[in-house]
Amino acid sequence: MENAKRKYVIPDHIKGMLTLVMAIVTAVLYAIILGGAAIRTLLEADPVFSDNAVRAASLLSGLVGSIVTAGFASSRPAEPDDPDDDMPIVENPAVMVSRQSSGRLRRNLAGLARVIGLPSPWGVQARAAAADGGPITVGGLTGTVWVALLYFAEYSVVGLASLLLSAFLPAVPDLVSSSAWVWLGTIVTSSYSFFGLD
């Protein structure tokens, strides 16, 4: 009777690993299918794609865009691991705007990294600094934030290429044009999330 009531919980590190594997597979398929379609559209006179490729492209466009939007939406402006939250007041307004922009970028990329399934980018440094009693400082982007940046860059480059091909070529395959419009919709929502707009 007790065994029937026991709930099985998947450990967090296993969930994170599965999420990361799925996010990487999605990104690779997105690059292969949509990136390949964009290249073929540019180089070939009349490329033809199967119905399954068109369905996969539509699914991947929405999925990758949703992951980016969710990552930006999950960024937390007041995170204890974020070194920019304890930033001193700077008298020069140009420097202050530059630091705020840099902090927003890092926060959003850290949120994307968490959604992808990567470990907290500043957690290790923050814990080490707290143990030593020293200040939390991070000079640049960490490895996990670079992975999130590459994920976002792939999403942006492939989507923008599809949009430009759809805008400037007289005829493009449905795969490219539908992916372009899905990308345009998700980049708008991602931008709202990035800047924290309602």
The pLDDT of residue 90: 41
Query: Under a CB-based contact definition with an 8 Å cutoff, are residues 67 and 115 in contact?
Result: yes
The confidence band for 79, taking pLDDT boundaries of 50, 70 and 90, is very low
Picking from 15-19, 21-25, 184-188, which range would have the lowest pLDDT averaged per residue? 15-19
Asked if pLDDT for residue 109 goes beyond 50, the answer is yes
Locate tokens 């939406």: which residue?
73
Average pLDDT for 40-68: 91
The pLDDT of residue 182: 92
For residues 84 and 158, what is the distance between their CA atoms, to the nearest angstrom? 31
For residues 32 and 125, what is the distance between their CA atoms, to the nearest angstrom? 35
One-character DSSP codes across 99-127: HHHHHHHHHHHHHHHHHHTPPPTTHHHHH
Share of the chain above pLDDT 90, in %: 34
For residues 136 and 120, what is the distance between their CA atoms, to the nearest angstrom? 14
Using DSSP, state whether 11 is helix, strand or coil: coil
101 vs 157, higher pLDDT:
157
Average pLDDT for 163-175: 93
The pLDDT of residue 49: 92
The pLDDT of residue 3: 58
Closest by CA position to 42, among listed 182, 169, 160: 169
Average pLDDT for 111-138: 60
* Residue-range definition of the domain harbouring residue 55: 2-194
Asked if pLDDT for residue 197 goes beyond 90, the answer is no
Q: What is the pLDDT of residues 81-106, one digit of tens each?
A: 444 444 444 444 443 334 455 678 88
The pLDDT of residue 192: 86
Locate tokens 């794609």: which residue?
49
What pTM was estimated for this model as a whole? 0.72
**Angle formed at CA 194 by CA 108 and CA 91, multiple of 5 degrees:** 75
Q: What does the mean pLDDT of the chain come to?
A: 77
Residues 6+ apart with CB under 8 A from 114: 71, 74, 120
The pLDDT of residue 92: 41
The pLDDT of residue 43: 93
Domain total of the chain: 1
Q: What is the pLDDT of residues 23-53, one digit of tens each?
A: 889 999 999 999 999 999 999 988 999 999 9
The pLDDT of residue 99: 45
